Amino acid sequence: MIYVKESPQHGRGVFAEAPIVTGALLMTFTGPLLTRANLDPHDYHLQIGDDLYLGPSGAADDYVNHSCAPNAGFVSGFTLSALRPIKAHEEITWDYSCAIDEEDFGGFPCACGVPSCRKIVQSFRHLPREVRERLRPWTLPYLRERYR
Ligand SMILES: [Zn+2]
């Protein structure tokens, strides 16, 4: 259903092999459980709680790029679902602010290129309230619990 290749946006990305319908389950994120002290900040990681991260899995979930107008999100658990119909060979993206919530995360410039781009990828807590409310249904479970 998905494949990894060079992305026009950043490094490698994940793409749809064939058209995908809204609600389809795309992939589940996995990887070694790490605390911040023992993760490599330059290596792939996903924040899943307070001082809790999934390190690189070596599978496609390591390579899904960010978008400020994503076509996928964490509707349930650590599984990425299609938020709208995805065309064949379209890049699959999710909004990284749906996982990151470190107080001291400085953010990084966004190159997603959509008209509604926020220009910087930030911690969930530092987003404007209306953005948090829009993104909340696609956040990881710990954030849904924190910002109920
Ligand atoms: Zn953006």
Tens of pLDDT along 57-68? 999 999 999 999
Structural domain spans, the chain: 2-142
Sheet containing 79-82: order of strands? 25-28, 79-82, 72-76
CA of 100 to the centre of ligand 1 (A): 15
Residue 111's pLDDT is what? 87
The domain defined by 2-142 folds into: Beta-clip-like (2.170.270)
Is the pLDDT reported for residue 8 higher than 90?
Answer: no
> What is the Å distance from ligand 1's center to 67 Cα?
5
47 C-alpha to ligand 1 centroid (Å)? 19
- Report the C-alpha gap between 8 and 41 in whole angstroms: 23
pLDDT over threshold 90, residue 92: yes
Q: Which of 22-31, 36-45, 129-138 has the lowest mean pLDDT?
A: 36-45
The model's pTM is: 0.95
What pLDDT shows up at residue 10?
Answer: 79
Any idea what the Cα angle at residue 73 is, between residues 25 and 89, rounded to 5°?
Answer: 65
pLDDT at 9 over 90: no
